[in-house]
Structure 1
């Protein structure tokens, strides 16, 4: 498109806001909210402007780069693909399949092409040493989904548009517009909730932007969420508030939950949480006695030392009080592309603990080890040591715990390749960088976030700009690498045919196929509804969990989706550029469950086994001189890669250490002063911000900053470097139940620094000088 208005979805966070982008003679002249978008209703946040900034960014890479000593040189795609495939296959041939590690960053889930191509690429790579942003984020939720509902991607979603009580703990949706809750214009929906007489309650160690708009707010000490939630479960049983009569046929182990919660009375936990016992009881009664209500938690509850148990208890509370599968409570989505049912049919429901990491014995989840052990697997010699690494759309040097140690590990690799369009703090250690096109140069369909949305919707947009003739999409890069790796490993002719078929279809045709065969799809047989009774009779002859019955049920003729609108295809979405509203969330249990017995496993043994550790927390007060660290979500920031947008980083520095006035006085700190924050693993220097909006004993530092390293190409970000909070976070602290990184609640100490000291300490240069060996490209670089 050279001139006109283009409608698409913003892919910079989970909110999926609709955009209207004005273009004149190939240049963007404005980006505004699409007032006709069926889901976001015209809302956008400041991040949307970064789409233009990224597209036009002179720092964005457009040609493959190869390291040549301490410099970079542009090379052709053919040379880049050939080098990467030869080197990776050669290293695996010498050192074994697991000598390669791979990390997947969260931009992949905003990209349907990358998502669809990733699995065949990973299969071709063949390594067990896989990592992703999951273990620094939503892993406890996915584990709870697997344990209770039978599928890692079966997320219960808050029905915010119909609830009368929304209890929000450890989340800031005013800044995030949802997380595992795709909810564009959270502010508007919260106003609607309150206008109909509903209430919103926020619980957090900091008075967030969300708390400012709440009807009630409670401070809570970091890492104590599981204690609060267990006390609420205790209150449910003690006061006879359980409402499980309509769920008895598909609930089990209720009594085990009652026994586990017995010792956690509101009085016992109040001193540790900071919430009065009577307030805990009133909060529990409100949840139980309000018919349309829910309790929701996110990063604050999941990325902590008891993240697994805390997330399980959130689910348990919604179930015990009758709020699961009820309008106004927590409901499961019915997306147009049903990845849950598709995964179930192929046996890909998720798994946990099938393998354990080589060095620290941490469990895998869904085929991935916790990111906290990446450095261990690279730095520790022995069989299975990672010697080469593939990073796809991620910057773990700034986004994973103990980033400086991780950079030390990357610096000693024999070979590293990155798929990314920025030269950042992670891939400055790479040998080859493969840059995909930016998001406005490819089509877009939300495979993942439609499945997490507070309303069932579907929307598609073609590319706004034609990519350069020699550019490659993520889909093309992943498939080309996968095909070449298969050829290097001589996998056989079957692989060749499958790769050719994938390339022929492309991500959009494959998405169209998924839409047409999904619950809202196109009925291709004559007779329409006349055939449905026949299909119904056929499915009744089959066992409930028979694969053929599930296959028939998930399609447009299926009995579960009989009342849903039909005729959905990519062509229909193209004719509806503002998206198609597929209706509100609806009750779907027990049919939606993926457990082998069709029941919710209310008390998985791994959680019960960890209750003793939670109880021991009651006897372990925090160090008197330390502060507990928490993160901070910011509306104009999302991880590390958006800081090269001048419009998003301008103004007063937002990378500050926020502390309570009482702590500032005790430590001799003044507002705006440089402070050194240090922990057992590292130290950073940044400005202090004194505020009464945070609990005493807590310090808040935002995530994703630290752009002060040498050897990157991020001019704007370097000018607004900030400091990386992950340099303080101990990568050996993980929740033993789930394997999630402990990002909230670790102890740090603050000390003032002289006013002449710099605001940050520079990160190391790559620390290696690699020369490409043209005569032997498969050779390892330990020479």
Structure 2
């Protein structure tokens, strides 16, 4: 793939490169300026690209951090192999690394069976077309039922509800924010995230425009978050009470005759079942459990139903709790029942230019989705979307018997920090016969691996958003090329003493700059190589025939006898480029391989450096539906059945325990971002937010350490007293705890923070989706009195 460099500026010798930021779901367009120097290409500046039709010049601090990531001396640039004495890692060649995989992994699988090898993948894969498009090759080659991902720590309830209601896991409706007059935000903080399962750069600007045209924003959250601070109204919900608020709203719609299906009346099933389910949940009964008075619930339901253009949006706070699946279902149901679905200003479906299942095949009907096709061996947790709950991984490794996990492949994930009871998982990882990590760092999880295979820097690779175009606030097609030649930064070099050179330290730049590693392997090639090895090919086999065969099989599935002719027409030399050309040309805006000359192709998208605007969201019901009935399923049986458990919970007193929730910050989307100086600088971020009344009761002071504990464990965190917290609720951010021996994250270790997952129960899950309960955790707060010499946990 050619580098996406544009015009030189002769006065400075600088070049501009237009790039999609891969560091969060906002996917902002960047202009990266570089200059050629005697030491190679150097990054001069990174800023938002004003000509990008999708993000319009918006940029958050993470985009600027791409320079730090590219130059990070801790980022791996060649394979690493654990020493026999387990004292650390040594660099090896790619050939030796794949030879070792070939020597160990197939034999282990032959001895113990396919399920003895587990596979887990993290959310950075969604930002990388090479990882996302070639991960299925590896999963199929392994043939294991032990497949895990970060989804069951995040969005699985949302995808499950959408799959059951609309027929596909990625048919996820998003708010049409530019055209709405009332936005209700539940358990989300888009001022910080710029959308989650909603690719929406510059939420702040769009929200400001909404209010300027006379619209309103209501935020429902236990904390007066950044989004709430810029809203018209904040309702401080009790953690875990979302299901009771939503049921109270639903009851009000039926009770006060506010339901108006409008054009959807002919496209829904299950209205009567939903009406019957709502009957037992009046707001007066739900108020104590959600912490919002009944009159406020009824007022909100009326305002939502009677505002012509309105939308209710909920995200991670609604997902990572016991009734996460019900919450996700009811949020969409409320939009449907009030006529705010598939219409301007409501919840609408994007139409992606490529890879969206709801644009392929027969429109308006399909097979739908199924769950529980298999179960985890120990806890018997059901599979959802092909995955088992990641909180089951440790027990699957530890528990003897047929199908016990003996080996693990981790891809772009750090479950020791991100999943409940990471200490148990860390111990389990050390008991594996073989562990392979595809990761840019030696982090808290990959430190346990026998081999680590690193990816190239994001700036050394080209990109197209496979996933987030399916979740975008506006339809678009954008491609970005590599900015830096492979192996281009001086980071990863050694000085005259053999120590790593830190590119951030100008005093270190004069040493011997012998390159430690050869050019990095593209991630798609690494995955395809591993799949080939597992399929019995030599570790150094030619991969081109393997890639060709997979692509030809897909073409035959789509085009039958025309497959060979279409194969010859595809652009892109190898890897994901050809798959992207196929996706674009066969997609809803595509050229149909010449049938529609004005349509999209890879060449056409590459020729538009600032991206192609495909317009505002448009109504898509019924053509996008892929349910077996061809209708929206308003009352999916698994979710309707789980309401019995909500009813049982409502009969119990709400309790008065102090409850712990997480939170998200702009500068720490993923744990590895804590190692980037531009994101790590400034105030301490891993602090425990506590309401003044709760701090006074516990005898703790602002800026001082305090102990947070429960039956699962305890930790010591720095207190930050905040009146923005609902009384009885405390908050810690996820993804911290960078003080574990063996990890190599130098900047992060300077501000390690504490890991709230020490207080979480890995067996506590939403049983419908398998998602871990990460919010509303009962805890005790007390003054810190650690024993002399005790570690600050």
Report the TM-score when normalising by structure 2.
0.88
Aligned counterparts of 2:314 and 2:45: Cα–Cα separation in 1:
36
Give the C-alpha shift of residue 684 in structure 1.
1.7
User: Which secondary structure does the structure 1 equivalent of 2:409 belong to?
Assistant: strand
Aligned counterparts of 1:523 and 1:82: Cα–Cα separation in 2:
42
Q: Where does 1:197-346 land on structure 2 (aligned, <5 Å)?
A: 197-341=214-358
Deviations 1:79-135 (A, max 9, x none): 111211332211111111100111100000000111111111111111110000011
User: Which secondary structure does the structure 1 equivalent of 2:135 belong to?
Assistant: helix
User: Which secondary structure does the structure 1 equivalent of 2:68 belong to?
Assistant: helix
Aligned counterparts of 1:126 and 1:609: Cα–Cα separation in 2:
32
Distance 1:44 1:349, change over 3 A: farther
Aligned counterparts of 1:610 and 1:149: Cα–Cα separation in 2:
19
Map of 1:769 onto structure 2: none
Deviations 1:214-271 (A, max 9, x none): 0111000000001000000000000000001422221111111111111111111111
Aligned counterparts of 2:644 and 2:717: Cα–Cα separation in 1:
38
What is the root-mean-square deviation in Å for CA atoms of aligned residues? Answer: 2.2
Aligned counterparts of 2:666 and 2:389: Cα–Cα separation in 1:
27
Give the C-alpha shift of residue 680 in structure 1.
2.3
Asked if the contact 1:630/1:744 (under 8 Å) is kept, the reply is yes
Map of 2:639 onto structure 1: 607
Indicate which of 683, 697, 709 corresponds to 1:666. Answer: 697
Indicate which of 569, 575, 580 corresponds to 2:601. Answer: 569
Aligned counterparts of 1:586 and 1:342: Cα–Cα separation in 2:
13
User: 167-176 or 87-96, which moves further after superposition?
Assistant: 87-96
Aligned counterparts of 2:257 and 2:366: Cα–Cα separation in 1:
40
User: Which secondary structure does the structure 2 equivalent of 1:187 belong to?
Assistant: helix
Give the C-alpha shift of residue 324 in structure 1.
1.1
Aligned counterparts of 2:15 and 2:318: Cα–Cα separation in 1:
45
User: Which secondary structure does the structure 1 equivalent of 2:64 belong to?
Assistant: helix
Q: Is 1:15 aligned to 2:26, yes or no? A: yes
Deviations 1:655-703 (A, max 9, x none): 0111111111111111111112222222221101111100111110001
Q: Is 1:578 aligned to 2:610, yes or no? A: yes
Distance 1:120 1:524, change over 3 A: closer
Give the C-alpha shift of residue 489 in structure 1.
10
Map of 1:588 onto structure 2: 620
Map of 2:554 onto structure 1: none
Indicate which of 719, 743, 757 corresponds to 1:688. Answer: 719
Map of 2:52 onto structure 1: 37
Q: Where does 1:732-771 land on structure 2 (aligned, <5 Å)?
A: 732-754=763-785, 761=792
Q: Is 1:482 aligned to 2:551, yes or no? A: no
Map of 2:415 onto structure 1: 396
Gaps of 5+ in 1: 529-555, 557-565, 763-783
Aligned counterparts of 2:411 and 2:787: Cα–Cα separation in 1:
40
Map of 1:700 onto structure 2: 731
User: 383-392 or 493-502, which moves further after superposition?
Assistant: 493-502
Deviations 1:540-584 (A, max 9, x none): xxxxxxxxxxxxxxxx9xxxxxxxxx4222222222211111000
Distance 1:77 1:499, change over 3 A: farther
Distance 1:304 1:757, change over 3 A: farther
Q: Is 1:67 aligned to 2:82, yes or no? A: yes
Asked if the contact 1:351/1:367 (under 8 Å) is kept, the reply is no
Q: Is 1:87 aligned to 2:104, yes or no? A: yes
Map of 2:515 onto structure 1: none
Distance 1:501 1:245, change over 3 A: closer
Give the C-alpha shift of residue 351 in structure 1.
3.0
Q: Is 1:641 aligned to 2:652, yes or no? A: no
Indicate which of 132, 138, 145 corresponds to 1:128. Answer: 145
Q: Is 1:427 aligned to 2:446, yes or no? A: yes
Q: How many residues align?
A: 723
Aligned counterparts of 1:420 and 1:741: Cα–Cα separation in 2:
24
Give the C-alpha shift of residue 36 in structure 1.
1.0
Aligned counterparts of 2:61 and 2:418: Cα–Cα separation in 1:
22
Aligned counterparts of 1:759 and 1:135: Cα–Cα separation in 2:
33
Give the C-alpha shift of residue 757 in structure 1.
7.0
Q: Where does 1:457-536 land on structure 2 (aligned, <5 Å)?
A: 457-468=476-487, 469-487=518-536, 497-498=546-547, 505-525=574-594
Distance 1:500 1:602, change over 3 A: closer
Map of 1:621 onto structure 2: 653
Aligned counterparts of 2:359 and 2:591: Cα–Cα separation in 1:
17
Give the C-alpha shift of residue 51 in structure 1.
0.5
Aligned counterparts of 2:792 and 2:408: Cα–Cα separation in 1:
27
Aligned counterparts of 1:344 and 1:687: Cα–Cα separation in 2:
54
User: 2-11 or 293-302, which moves further after superposition?
Assistant: 2-11
Gaps of 5+ in 2: 6-12, 488-517, 552-571
Distance 1:736 1:83, change over 3 A: same
Give the C-alpha shift of residue 488 in structure 1.
5.5
Q: Is 1:156 aligned to 2:187, yes or no? A: no
User: Which secondary structure does the structure 2 equivalent of 1:365 belong to?
Assistant: coil
Q: Is 1:193 aligned to 2:210, yes or no? A: yes
Indicate which of 383, 398, 423 corresponds to 1:364. Answer: 383
User: Which secondary structure does the structure 1 equivalent of 2:393 belong to?
Assistant: helix
User: Which secondary structure does the structure 2 equivalent of 1:373 belong to?
Assistant: helix
Asked if the contact 2:48/2:59 (under 8 Å) is kept, the reply is yes
Distance 1:295 1:44, change over 3 A: same
Map of 2:555 onto structure 1: none
Asked if the contact 1:723/1:760 (under 8 Å) is kept, the reply is no
Map of 2:753 onto structure 1: 722
